[in-house]
Structure 1
Amino acid sequence: MDLGISGRKAIICASSKGLGKACAIALANEGCDVIINGRHADSLHKAAQEIKALTQKTVIEVVGDVSTSEGQHLLLEQCPEPDILVTNNHGPQFRDFRELDRNKIVDGVIQNMITPIELIKAVIDKMVQKKFGRIVNITSTSVYAPIAGLDLSSGARAGLTSFLAGIARTVVCDNVTINNLLPGPFLTDRLKQSFDAASGETGISADTIMKERQSQNPAKRFGNPEEFGQACAFLCSEKSGFITGQNLIIDGGSYLSAF
Protein backbone atom coordinates (compact mmCIF):
# COMPACT_ATOMS: atom_id res chain seq x y z
CA MET A 1 0.00 0.00 0.00
CA ASP A 2 1.27 3.46 -0.92
CA LEU A 3 0.77 5.52 2.24
CA GLY A 4 0.99 8.76 0.29
CA ILE A 5 3.58 10.48 2.46
CA SER A 6 6.67 10.39 0.24
CA GLY A 7 8.45 13.72 0.49
CA ARG A 8 6.80 14.67 3.79
CA LYS A 9 8.97 15.97 6.62
CA ALA A 10 8.78 14.06 9.89
CA ILE A 11 10.16 14.87 13.34
CA ILE A 12 10.59 11.79 15.51
CA CYS A 13 11.58 12.55 19.09
CA ALA A 14 13.89 10.30 21.13
CA SER A 15 14.65 8.19 18.08
CA SER A 16 18.27 7.08 18.46
CA LYS A 17 17.12 3.60 19.48
CA GLY A 18 14.13 1.43 20.36
CA LEU A 19 10.61 2.26 19.27
CA GLY A 20 11.46 5.81 18.25
CA LYS A 21 14.12 4.58 15.84
CA ALA A 22 11.71 1.96 14.49
CA CYS A 23 9.22 4.74 13.70
CA ALA A 24 11.93 6.77 11.96
CA ILE A 25 12.93 3.79 9.83
CA ALA A 26 9.32 3.06 8.86
CA LEU A 27 8.64 6.67 7.90
CA ALA A 28 11.88 6.93 5.92
CA ASN A 29 10.95 3.70 4.12
CA GLU A 30 7.74 5.44 3.07
CA GLY A 31 9.75 8.26 1.54
CA CYS A 32 9.72 10.80 4.36
CA ASP A 33 12.67 13.03 5.17
CA VAL A 34 13.22 12.36 8.86
CA ILE A 35 14.59 14.51 11.65
CA ILE A 36 15.77 12.25 14.45
CA ASN A 37 16.69 13.21 17.98
CA GLY A 38 18.59 11.90 20.96
CA ARG A 39 20.62 13.07 23.93
CA HIS A 40 23.82 11.26 22.95
CA ALA A 41 25.60 12.22 19.72
CA ASP A 42 27.32 8.86 19.16
CA SER A 43 24.20 6.70 19.36
CA LEU A 44 22.19 9.24 17.36
CA HIS A 45 24.77 9.30 14.56
CA LYS A 46 24.85 5.51 14.51
CA ALA A 47 21.06 5.44 14.13
CA ALA A 48 21.21 8.02 11.33
CA GLN A 49 23.76 5.97 9.40
CA GLU A 50 21.60 2.86 9.80
CA ILE A 51 18.48 4.65 8.57
CA LYS A 52 20.31 6.12 5.58
CA ALA A 53 21.71 2.71 4.62
CA LEU A 54 18.30 1.07 4.87
CA THR A 55 16.25 3.74 3.13
CA GLN A 56 18.53 6.07 1.13
CA LYS A 57 16.56 9.02 2.55
CA THR A 58 17.62 12.31 4.06
CA VAL A 59 18.23 12.04 7.81
CA ILE A 60 18.89 15.10 9.95
CA GLU A 61 20.38 14.55 13.42
CA VAL A 62 19.45 16.84 16.30
CA VAL A 63 21.30 16.21 19.54
CA GLY A 64 19.47 17.43 22.61
CA ASP A 65 17.03 16.65 25.38
CA VAL A 66 13.55 17.18 23.96
CA SER A 67 12.29 17.84 27.49
CA THR A 68 14.13 21.17 27.48
CA SER A 69 13.26 24.39 25.68
CA GLU A 70 16.71 24.31 24.09
CA GLY A 71 16.20 20.78 22.76
CA GLN A 72 12.83 21.68 21.30
CA HIS A 73 14.25 24.84 19.73
CA LEU A 74 16.99 22.85 18.02
CA LEU A 75 14.45 20.41 16.58
CA LEU A 76 12.13 23.12 15.29
CA GLU A 77 15.06 25.12 13.95
CA GLN A 78 15.90 22.18 11.68
CA CYS A 79 12.26 21.60 10.73
CA PRO A 80 9.96 24.51 11.59
CA GLU A 81 7.01 23.13 9.62
CA PRO A 82 6.88 19.33 9.94
CA ASP A 83 4.09 17.41 8.26
CA ILE A 84 4.45 14.64 10.84
CA LEU A 85 5.34 14.79 14.52
CA VAL A 86 6.00 11.66 16.56
CA THR A 87 6.42 12.51 20.23
CA ASN A 88 8.41 10.15 22.39
CA ASN A 89 10.54 10.51 25.49
CA HIS A 90 12.23 8.50 28.21
CA GLY A 91 10.08 8.07 31.28
CA PRO A 92 10.67 7.93 35.03
CA GLN A 93 12.40 4.84 36.35
CA PHE A 94 10.60 2.14 38.34
CA ARG A 95 10.17 3.61 41.78
CA ASP A 96 7.78 3.19 44.69
CA PHE A 97 5.64 6.32 44.76
CA ARG A 98 6.68 6.92 48.37
CA GLU A 99 10.18 7.66 47.09
CA LEU A 100 8.97 10.49 44.86
CA ASP A 101 9.53 14.05 45.95
CA ARG A 102 8.08 17.17 44.36
CA ASN A 103 10.99 17.66 41.95
CA LYS A 104 10.83 14.07 40.66
CA ILE A 105 7.07 14.36 40.13
CA VAL A 106 7.46 17.63 38.23
CA ASP A 107 10.25 16.15 36.09
CA GLY A 108 8.08 13.14 35.19
CA VAL A 109 5.14 15.33 34.19
CA ILE A 110 7.45 17.51 32.08
CA GLN A 111 8.90 14.48 30.29
CA ASN A 112 5.70 12.64 29.49
CA MET A 113 2.97 15.30 29.39
CA ILE A 114 4.21 18.86 29.09
CA THR A 115 6.90 18.21 26.46
CA PRO A 116 4.53 16.66 23.87
CA ILE A 117 2.00 19.44 24.47
CA GLU A 118 4.66 22.12 23.91
CA LEU A 119 5.79 20.52 20.66
CA ILE A 120 2.23 20.11 19.41
CA LYS A 121 1.47 23.75 20.20
CA ALA A 122 4.51 24.77 18.15
CA VAL A 123 3.51 22.91 14.97
CA ILE A 124 -0.24 22.37 14.87
CA ASP A 125 -1.36 25.70 13.42
CA LYS A 126 1.02 25.35 10.48
CA MET A 127 -0.36 21.87 9.87
CA VAL A 128 -3.89 23.32 9.89
CA GLN A 129 -2.85 25.98 7.36
CA LYS A 130 -1.39 23.31 5.04
CA LYS A 131 -4.43 21.05 5.49
CA PHE A 132 -2.23 18.11 6.42
CA GLY A 133 -0.75 17.01 9.70
CA ARG A 134 -0.21 13.77 11.53
CA ILE A 135 0.68 13.72 15.23
CA VAL A 136 1.39 10.42 16.98
CA ASN A 137 2.28 10.21 20.66
CA ILE A 138 4.07 7.12 21.96
CA THR A 139 2.58 6.50 25.40
CA SER A 140 2.16 3.09 27.08
CA THR A 141 -0.35 0.36 27.84
CA SER A 142 0.13 1.41 31.47
CA VAL A 143 -2.28 4.26 30.67
CA TYR A 144 -5.00 1.57 30.66
CA ALA A 145 -3.49 -1.06 32.93
CA PRO A 146 -1.38 0.58 35.65
CA ILE A 147 1.95 -0.97 36.56
CA ALA A 148 3.06 -0.56 40.16
CA GLY A 149 6.27 1.42 40.23
CA LEU A 150 5.46 3.27 37.01
CA ASP A 151 2.74 5.37 38.61
CA LEU A 152 4.30 8.68 37.63
CA SER A 153 4.84 7.63 34.03
CA SER A 154 1.31 6.23 33.78
CA GLY A 155 -0.25 9.32 35.35
CA ALA A 156 1.62 11.80 33.14
CA ARG A 157 0.82 9.87 29.96
CA ALA A 158 -2.82 9.46 30.97
CA GLY A 159 -2.92 13.22 31.50
CA LEU A 160 -1.51 13.75 28.01
CA THR A 161 -4.13 11.41 26.56
CA SER A 162 -7.01 13.27 28.19
CA PHE A 163 -5.56 16.69 27.38
CA LEU A 164 -5.35 15.91 23.66
CA ALA A 165 -8.63 14.01 23.30
CA GLY A 166 -10.70 17.15 22.85
CA ILE A 167 -8.06 18.99 20.82
CA ALA A 168 -7.96 16.11 18.32
CA ARG A 169 -11.62 16.76 17.49
CA THR A 170 -11.01 20.44 16.76
CA VAL A 171 -8.45 20.00 13.97
CA VAL A 172 -9.50 16.83 12.15
CA CYS A 173 -11.70 18.94 9.85
CA ASP A 174 -8.43 20.43 8.58
CA ASN A 175 -6.92 16.98 7.92
CA VAL A 176 -4.80 17.11 11.06
CA THR A 177 -5.03 14.04 13.27
CA ILE A 178 -3.75 13.26 16.76
CA ASN A 179 -3.48 9.66 17.91
CA ASN A 180 -1.59 7.63 20.49
CA LEU A 181 0.33 4.38 20.20
CA LEU A 182 0.38 2.30 23.38
CA PRO A 183 3.21 -0.26 23.32
CA GLY A 184 3.27 -3.34 25.47
CA PRO A 185 6.37 -5.56 25.71
CA PHE A 186 8.68 -4.97 22.76
CA LEU A 187 12.14 -6.50 22.57
CA THR A 188 14.09 -3.29 22.96
CA ASP A 189 17.31 -2.60 24.86
CA ARG A 190 15.27 -1.28 27.77
CA LEU A 191 13.32 -4.53 28.07
CA LYS A 192 16.53 -6.57 27.87
CA GLN A 193 18.03 -4.43 30.61
CA SER A 194 15.04 -5.21 32.82
CA PHE A 195 15.74 -8.93 32.39
CA ASP A 196 19.35 -8.41 33.40
CA ALA A 197 18.28 -6.40 36.44
CA ALA A 198 15.76 -9.06 37.48
CA SER A 199 18.42 -11.71 37.01
CA GLY A 200 20.76 -9.84 39.33
CA GLU A 201 18.08 -9.62 41.99
CA THR A 202 16.81 -13.19 41.77
CA GLY A 203 19.80 -15.23 40.61
CA ILE A 204 17.67 -16.62 37.76
CA SER A 205 19.24 -16.34 34.33
CA ALA A 206 18.07 -13.46 32.12
CA ASP A 207 17.24 -15.98 29.37
CA THR A 208 14.95 -17.93 31.71
CA ILE A 209 13.21 -14.75 32.84
CA MET A 210 12.73 -13.68 29.23
CA LYS A 211 11.19 -17.01 28.22
CA GLU A 212 8.85 -16.96 31.22
CA ARG A 213 7.61 -13.47 30.39
CA GLN A 214 7.15 -14.41 26.75
CA SER A 215 4.98 -17.34 27.76
CA GLN A 216 2.69 -15.01 29.71
CA ASN A 217 1.80 -13.05 26.58
CA PRO A 218 -1.10 -14.41 24.47
CA ALA A 219 1.12 -14.06 21.40
CA LYS A 220 3.81 -16.13 23.18
CA ARG A 221 6.44 -13.63 22.11
CA PHE A 222 7.53 -10.03 22.45
CA GLY A 223 6.83 -7.43 19.83
CA ASN A 224 9.34 -6.59 17.14
CA PRO A 225 10.04 -2.83 17.01
CA GLU A 226 9.57 -2.98 13.24
CA GLU A 227 5.91 -3.89 13.80
CA PHE A 228 5.47 -0.85 15.98
CA GLY A 229 7.11 1.42 13.40
CA GLN A 230 4.81 0.20 10.66
CA ALA A 231 1.74 0.93 12.77
CA CYS A 232 3.08 4.43 13.34
CA ALA A 233 3.64 4.94 9.62
CA PHE A 234 0.04 4.02 8.87
CA LEU A 235 -1.29 6.52 11.42
CA CYS A 236 0.93 9.13 9.74
CA SER A 237 -0.34 8.32 6.26
CA GLU A 238 -2.80 10.14 4.05
CA LYS A 239 -5.00 7.03 4.40
CA SER A 240 -5.64 7.66 8.10
CA GLY A 241 -7.36 11.03 7.96
CA PHE A 242 -10.59 9.68 9.50
CA ILE A 243 -8.80 8.30 12.56
CA THR A 244 -8.23 10.76 15.39
CA GLY A 245 -8.23 10.86 19.17
CA GLN A 246 -7.62 7.12 19.34
CA ASN A 247 -5.38 4.90 21.47
CA LEU A 248 -3.96 1.94 19.57
CA ILE A 249 -2.71 -0.79 21.90
CA ILE A 250 0.09 -2.91 20.43
CA ASP A 251 0.83 -5.62 22.97
CA GLY A 252 0.10 -9.07 21.53
CA GLY A 253 -3.24 -9.20 23.35
CA SER A 254 -1.95 -8.70 26.89
CA TYR A 255 -4.49 -6.04 27.78
CA LEU A 256 -7.71 -7.91 28.45
CA SER A 257 -10.74 -6.01 27.23
CA ALA A 258 -13.56 -6.67 24.79
CA PHE A 259 -13.93 -2.97 24.00
Structure 2
Amino acid sequence: MDLGINGRTALVCASSRGLGLGCATALAEAGAHVVINGRDAARLDDAAARIAERTGATVVSVAADVGTVAGREALLAAAGAVDILVNNNAGPPPADFRALDRDAVIAGLDANMITPIALIQAVIDGMVERRFGRIVNITSGSVKMPLAGLDLSSGARIGLTGFLAGVARQVAHANVTINSLLPGSFDTDRLEAIDSRRASMIGRNFEEIRAERVAAIPARRVGTPDEFGAACAFLCSANAGYITGQSLLIDGGAFPGVM
Protein backbone atom coordinates (compact mmCIF):
# COMPACT_ATOMS: atom_id res chain seq x y z
CA MET A 1 0.00 0.00 0.00
CA ASP A 2 1.26 3.47 -0.91
CA LEU A 3 0.94 5.47 2.30
CA GLY A 4 1.20 8.78 0.48
CA ILE A 5 4.05 10.13 2.63
CA ASN A 6 6.95 9.79 0.20
CA GLY A 7 9.22 12.79 0.70
CA ARG A 8 7.54 13.89 3.93
CA THR A 9 9.80 14.74 6.87
CA ALA A 10 9.28 12.52 9.90
CA LEU A 11 10.82 13.23 13.29
CA VAL A 12 10.86 10.20 15.57
CA CYS A 13 11.96 10.69 19.18
CA ALA A 14 13.82 8.03 21.16
CA SER A 15 14.31 5.95 18.04
CA SER A 16 17.70 4.28 18.42
CA ARG A 17 16.01 1.05 19.55
CA GLY A 18 12.73 -0.56 20.49
CA LEU A 19 9.38 0.81 19.40
CA GLY A 20 10.82 4.13 18.26
CA LEU A 21 13.21 2.32 15.95
CA GLY A 22 10.33 0.23 14.62
CA CYS A 23 8.38 3.40 13.80
CA ALA A 24 11.37 5.12 12.17
CA THR A 25 12.07 2.07 10.03
CA ALA A 26 8.47 1.75 8.85
CA LEU A 27 8.30 5.45 7.96
CA ALA A 28 11.58 5.20 6.02
CA GLU A 29 10.20 2.19 4.14
CA ALA A 30 7.18 4.33 3.21
CA GLY A 31 9.49 6.92 1.65
CA ALA A 32 9.63 9.50 4.41
CA HIS A 33 12.75 11.50 5.14
CA VAL A 34 13.42 10.34 8.69
CA VAL A 35 15.19 12.15 11.52
CA ILE A 36 15.95 9.87 14.45
CA ASN A 37 16.92 10.81 17.96
CA GLY A 38 18.51 9.42 21.09
CA ARG A 39 21.04 10.35 23.74
CA ASP A 40 23.66 7.70 22.88
CA ALA A 41 25.39 8.95 19.71
CA ALA A 42 27.08 5.64 18.88
CA ARG A 43 23.88 3.63 19.25
CA LEU A 44 21.98 6.24 17.27
CA ASP A 45 24.44 6.18 14.38
CA ASP A 46 24.25 2.38 14.33
CA ALA A 47 20.45 2.57 14.16
CA ALA A 48 20.63 5.08 11.30
CA ALA A 49 22.96 2.78 9.37
CA ARG A 50 20.66 -0.21 9.89
CA ILE A 51 17.58 1.74 8.75
CA ALA A 52 19.44 2.98 5.68
CA GLU A 53 20.67 -0.51 4.81
CA ARG A 54 17.20 -1.99 5.14
CA THR A 55 15.23 0.75 3.39
CA GLY A 56 17.69 2.62 1.18
CA ALA A 57 16.54 5.85 2.82
CA THR A 58 18.72 8.72 3.92
CA VAL A 59 18.45 9.00 7.69
CA VAL A 60 19.56 11.93 9.81
CA SER A 61 20.55 11.16 13.39
CA VAL A 62 20.53 13.81 16.12
CA ALA A 63 21.98 12.93 19.51
CA ALA A 64 20.08 15.13 21.96
CA ASP A 65 18.06 14.96 25.15
CA VAL A 66 14.56 16.07 24.15
CA GLY A 67 13.80 16.65 27.80
CA THR A 68 15.86 19.84 27.61
CA VAL A 69 15.14 23.04 25.72
CA ALA A 70 18.56 22.87 24.04
CA GLY A 71 17.97 19.28 22.98
CA ARG A 72 14.59 20.06 21.45
CA GLU A 73 15.99 23.09 19.65
CA ALA A 74 18.83 21.02 18.15
CA LEU A 75 16.44 18.33 17.01
CA LEU A 76 13.97 20.74 15.44
CA ALA A 77 16.74 22.69 13.72
CA ALA A 78 18.06 19.51 12.11
CA ALA A 79 14.59 18.38 11.02
CA GLY A 80 13.38 21.61 9.42
CA ALA A 81 9.70 21.60 8.45
CA VAL A 82 8.24 18.59 10.27
CA ASP A 83 5.30 16.81 8.61
CA ILE A 84 5.21 13.82 10.94
CA LEU A 85 6.07 13.81 14.64
CA VAL A 86 6.31 10.62 16.65
CA ASN A 87 6.62 11.40 20.35
CA ASN A 88 8.34 8.71 22.35
CA ASN A 89 10.16 8.58 25.63
CA ALA A 90 11.06 5.89 28.12
CA GLY A 91 8.70 5.67 31.05
CA PRO A 92 9.86 6.01 34.65
CA PRO A 93 11.04 2.76 36.24
CA PRO A 94 8.48 0.69 38.14
CA ALA A 95 8.12 1.83 41.74
CA ASP A 96 5.73 1.69 44.68
CA PHE A 97 3.76 4.93 44.60
CA ARG A 98 4.67 5.51 48.26
CA ALA A 99 8.32 5.81 47.28
CA LEU A 100 7.73 8.63 44.78
CA ASP A 101 8.79 12.00 46.13
CA ARG A 102 7.91 15.34 44.55
CA ASP A 103 11.02 15.45 42.36
CA ALA A 104 10.34 11.97 40.97
CA VAL A 105 6.74 12.84 40.14
CA ILE A 106 7.73 16.07 38.40
CA ALA A 107 10.46 14.27 36.43
CA GLY A 108 7.93 11.68 35.24
CA LEU A 109 5.47 14.36 34.17
CA ASP A 110 8.22 16.31 32.42
CA ALA A 111 9.40 13.33 30.38
CA ASN A 112 6.05 11.82 29.47
CA MET A 113 3.67 14.77 29.31
CA ILE A 114 5.38 18.17 29.23
CA THR A 115 8.13 17.31 26.72
CA PRO A 116 5.79 15.86 24.07
CA ILE A 117 3.48 18.84 24.45
CA ALA A 118 6.43 21.20 23.91
CA LEU A 119 7.41 19.40 20.70
CA ILE A 120 3.84 19.52 19.42
CA GLN A 121 3.64 23.24 20.17
CA ALA A 122 6.80 23.74 18.11
CA VAL A 123 5.61 21.95 14.95
CA ILE A 124 1.84 22.16 14.83
CA ASP A 125 1.40 25.64 13.33
CA GLY A 126 3.62 24.71 10.39
CA MET A 127 1.55 21.58 9.86
CA VAL A 128 -1.64 23.63 9.85
CA GLU A 129 -0.20 26.10 7.35
CA ARG A 130 0.91 23.29 4.99
CA ARG A 131 -2.41 21.47 5.44
CA PHE A 132 -0.74 18.21 6.39
CA GLY A 133 0.40 16.90 9.72
CA ARG A 134 0.51 13.61 11.55
CA ILE A 135 1.33 13.39 15.25
CA VAL A 136 1.54 10.03 16.97
CA ASN A 137 2.27 9.72 20.67
CA ILE A 138 3.61 6.42 21.94
CA THR A 139 2.05 6.10 25.38
CA SER A 140 1.28 2.77 27.06
CA GLY A 141 -1.35 0.11 27.44
CA SER A 142 -1.46 1.20 31.09
CA VAL A 143 -3.39 4.29 29.95
CA LYS A 144 -6.33 1.95 29.36
CA MET A 145 -5.52 -0.64 32.02
CA PRO A 146 -3.37 0.91 34.79
CA LEU A 147 -0.79 -1.43 36.28
CA ALA A 148 0.48 -1.40 39.85
CA GLY A 149 4.01 -0.08 40.00
CA LEU A 150 3.60 1.96 36.81
CA ASP A 151 1.41 4.59 38.45
CA LEU A 152 3.62 7.54 37.51
CA SER A 153 3.92 6.37 33.91
CA SER A 154 0.17 5.81 33.68
CA GLY A 155 -0.64 9.17 35.24
CA ALA A 156 1.67 11.20 33.00
CA ARG A 157 0.53 9.46 29.83
CA ILE A 158 -3.15 9.72 30.75
CA GLY A 159 -2.54 13.43 31.33
CA LEU A 160 -0.96 13.76 27.88
CA THR A 161 -3.88 11.91 26.29
CA GLY A 162 -6.42 14.15 27.96
CA PHE A 163 -4.53 17.34 27.13
CA LEU A 164 -4.30 16.44 23.44
CA ALA A 165 -7.89 15.28 23.08
CA GLY A 166 -9.10 18.84 22.69
CA VAL A 167 -6.07 19.94 20.68
CA ALA A 168 -6.77 17.22 18.10
CA ARG A 169 -10.22 18.64 17.46
CA GLN A 170 -8.84 22.15 16.99
CA VAL A 171 -6.56 21.21 14.08
CA ALA A 172 -8.48 18.42 12.34
CA HIS A 173 -9.90 20.88 9.79
CA ALA A 174 -6.35 21.45 8.47
CA ASN A 175 -5.65 17.75 7.82
CA VAL A 176 -3.57 17.54 10.97
CA THR A 177 -4.24 14.51 13.13
CA ILE A 178 -3.14 13.60 16.65
CA ASN A 179 -3.41 10.02 17.84
CA SER A 180 -1.80 7.74 20.39
CA LEU A 181 -0.49 4.19 20.18
CA LEU A 182 -0.80 2.19 23.39
CA PRO A 183 1.68 -0.70 23.40
CA GLY A 184 1.14 -3.78 25.51
CA SER A 185 3.96 -6.31 25.83
CA PHE A 186 6.56 -5.88 23.10
CA ASP A 187 9.99 -7.40 22.66
CA THR A 188 11.99 -4.40 23.87
CA ASP A 189 14.77 -3.70 26.34
CA ARG A 190 12.24 -2.05 28.66
CA LEU A 191 10.07 -5.16 28.85
CA GLU A 192 13.15 -7.29 29.51
CA ALA A 193 14.16 -4.95 32.33
CA ILE A 194 10.68 -5.07 33.87
CA ASP A 195 10.52 -8.86 33.77
CA SER A 196 14.09 -9.20 35.02
CA ARG A 197 13.35 -6.88 37.93
CA ARG A 198 10.24 -8.85 38.88
CA ALA A 199 12.12 -12.13 38.68
CA SER A 200 14.82 -10.76 40.97
CA MET A 201 12.31 -9.37 43.46
CA ILE A 202 10.43 -12.65 43.92
CA GLY A 203 13.39 -15.02 43.54
CA ARG A 204 12.41 -16.69 40.28
CA ASN A 205 14.11 -16.94 36.91
CA PHE A 206 13.44 -14.66 33.97
CA GLU A 207 12.17 -17.44 31.70
CA GLU A 208 9.38 -18.33 34.14
CA ILE A 209 8.27 -14.73 34.45
CA ARG A 210 8.28 -14.23 30.68
CA ALA A 211 6.34 -17.48 30.16
CA GLU A 212 3.66 -16.27 32.58
CA ARG A 213 3.41 -12.98 30.72
CA VAL A 214 3.02 -14.71 27.37
CA ALA A 215 0.42 -17.11 28.76
CA ALA A 216 -1.75 -14.13 29.75
CA ILE A 217 -1.76 -12.75 26.20
CA PRO A 218 -4.37 -14.30 23.88
CA ALA A 219 -1.90 -14.06 20.98
CA ARG A 220 0.47 -16.21 23.10
CA ARG A 221 3.48 -14.06 22.30
CA VAL A 222 4.85 -10.58 22.77
CA GLY A 223 4.69 -8.13 19.88
CA THR A 224 7.54 -7.07 17.63
CA PRO A 225 8.77 -3.51 17.02
CA ASP A 226 8.16 -4.04 13.29
CA GLU A 227 4.46 -4.73 13.93
CA PHE A 228 4.22 -1.63 16.05
CA GLY A 229 6.02 0.43 13.43
CA ALA A 230 3.59 -0.67 10.73
CA ALA A 231 0.65 0.59 12.80
CA CYS A 232 2.46 3.87 13.41
CA ALA A 233 3.18 4.32 9.70
CA PHE A 234 -0.48 3.82 8.83
CA LEU A 235 -1.61 6.47 11.33
CA CYS A 236 0.96 8.79 9.73
CA SER A 237 -0.28 8.05 6.23
CA ALA A 238 -2.31 10.23 3.90
CA ASN A 239 -4.99 7.55 4.15
CA ALA A 240 -5.52 8.15 7.88
CA GLY A 241 -6.69 11.74 7.71
CA TYR A 242 -10.12 10.89 9.15
CA ILE A 243 -8.67 9.27 12.27
CA THR A 244 -7.86 11.73 15.05
CA GLY A 245 -8.08 11.99 18.81
CA GLN A 246 -7.90 8.23 19.14
CA SER A 247 -5.90 5.83 21.30
CA LEU A 248 -5.12 2.53 19.59
CA LEU A 249 -4.30 -0.32 21.96
CA ILE A 250 -1.88 -2.89 20.51
CA ASP A 251 -1.56 -5.70 23.02
CA GLY A 252 -2.35 -9.05 21.39
CA GLY A 253 -5.81 -9.04 22.97
CA ALA A 254 -4.58 -8.80 26.57
CA PHE A 255 -7.05 -6.11 27.61
CA PRO A 256 -10.31 -7.96 28.41
CA GLY A 257 -12.74 -5.32 27.18
CA VAL A 258 -15.00 -4.55 24.24
CA MET A 259 -13.51 -1.12 23.51
TM-score clears 0.5: yes
Distance 1:31 1:86 in 2: 16
Matched residue, 1:256: 256
Matched residue, 2:95: 95
1:96-175 to 2 correspondences below 5 Å: 96-175=96-175
- Coordinate RMSD, CA, aligned: 1.0
Matched residue, 1:213: 213
**Residues 1:190 and 2:197 are matched in the alignment:** no
1:49-68 to 2 correspondences below 5 Å: 49-68=49-68
Matched residue, 1:245: 245
Distance 1:99 1:198 in 2: 17
Distance 2:150 2:203 in 1: 24
When normalised by structure 1's length, the TM-score is 0.98
Q: Which runs of 5+ in 1 are unaligned?
A: none
Q: In structure 2, the residue corresponding to 1:217 is in which secondary structure?
A: coil
Q: In structure 1, the residue corresponding to 2:95 is in which secondary structure?
A: coil
Distance 2:80 2:121 in 1: 12
Matched residue, 1:10: 10
**How far 1:257 sits from its partner (Å)?**
1.3
**How far 1:208 sits from its partner (Å)?**
2.3
Matched residue, 2:43: 43
Distance 1:34 1:193 in 2: 28
Distance 2:111 2:132 in 1: 27
Distance 2:32 2:149 in 1: 37
**How far 1:194 sits from its partner (Å)?**
2.5
Q: In structure 2, the residue corresponding to 1:81 is in which secondary structure?
A: coil
Distance 2:194 2:204 in 1: 13
**How far 1:209 sits from its partner (Å)?**
1.9
Distance 1:237 1:195 in 2: 34
Structure 1 contact 142–154 (Cα < 8 Å) conserved: yes
Corresponding letter in the other structure for 1:149: G
Distance 1:202 1:172 in 2: 48
Aligned residues: 259
1:124-183, Cα deviation, whole Å (9 max, x unpaired): 000000000000000001111111111111111101000000110111110000000000
1:58-111, Cα deviation, whole Å (9 max, x unpaired): 111111111111110111010131110000011111111111111111111000
Distance 1:152 1:189 in 2: 19
Distance 1:240 1:104 in 2: 37
When normalised by structure 2's length, the TM-score is 0.98
Structure 2 contact 10–33 (Cα < 8 Å) conserved: yes
Distance 2:199 2:46 in 1: 29
Structure 2 contact 14–89 (Cα < 8 Å) conserved: yes
Structure 1 contact 31–57 (Cα < 8 Å) conserved: yes
**How far 1:54 sits from its partner (Å)?**
0.4
Q: In structure 2, the residue corresponding to 1:211 is in which secondary structure?
A: helix
Q: Which stretch has the larger CA shift, 130-139 or 196-205? A: 196-205
Matched residue, 1:76: 76
**How far 1:199 sits from its partner (Å)?**
3.0
**How far 1:254 sits from its partner (Å)?**
0.8
Structure 1 contact 195–209 (Cα < 8 Å) conserved: yes
Structure 2 contact 94–194 (Cα < 8 Å) conserved: no
Corresponding letter in the other structure for 1:47: A
Distance change in 2, residues 1:102/1:202 (3 Å): closer
Corresponding letter in the other structure for 2:121: K
Corresponding letter in the other structure for 1:128: V
Distance change in 2, residues 1:160/1:96 (3 Å): same
Q: Which stretch has the larger CA shift, 62-71 or 231-240? A: 62-71
